[in-house]
Amino acid sequence: MEHPNTPLPDRIVQAVADYHAELYRFAALRTGSRSDAEDIVQEAFLRLLTAPGEITHLRAYLYRCVANACCDRKRRQAVFEPLGPQLPADDGEAPLREEAERIAALLDRLPKEQAEVIRLHTFASLRFTEIAQTLQLPASTVKSRFHYGIERLKKLM
């Protein structure tokens, strides 16, 4: 529900109402952490506040912000991994983290381009045309990446 003619503060309030839950689910599956997901989604909405120029595809813009932030967070965590054994966290996130790690491990075995399309289509429920806008690719490329990625996943499982 994009509202390009709505004043900016009202537009952001509407964007939060329209997209917060789905962006949060997407980020939580990508990060395996509820708190990281919440931070990432908040950062995406803050970026919207300071975005230069007109955003024509608001949903695609927000998903791109969230996907990029998830990748950045994963990259930072890889650099700062603890040196000793970790004690299990009693934060209630263990099942979510385990499922996210299992899915991420499978998707990590795919080419990056295929994995990203599968994530956006499956976890974020974006249509192929929306993914094409988000990734700035032709819809036919998005469809073929999804198809080939799913075929590879079937073989891996």
Report the alpha-carbon distance of residue 82 to residue 67 in Å, rounded: 24
Q: Give the residue with greater pLDDT, 139 vs 8.
A: 139
Map residue 32 onto helix, strand or coil: coil
pTM value > 0.75:
no
Q: Which class for 153: exposed (0-12), middle (13-18), buried (19 or more C-beta within 10 A)?
A: middle
pLDDT band at 38 (very low <50, low <70, confident <90, very high): very high
Residue keyed to tokens 């795919």: 110
Query: If you count them, how many residues does the chain have?
Result: 157
C-alpha distances (whole Å) from 65 to each of 39, 46, 115 are 12, 10, 17
Q: Token pair of 45, please?
A: 């909405």
Give CATH for domain 8-83+92-156. 1.20.140
Report the alpha-carbon distance of residue 57 to residue 62 in Å, rounded: 9
pLDDT of residue 48: 86
Domain residue spans of the chain: 8-83+92-156
What pLDDT digit, counting tens, does each position of 74-132 carry? 777 654 444 444 444 555 666 777 777 788 888 889 998 998 898 888 877 788 988 88
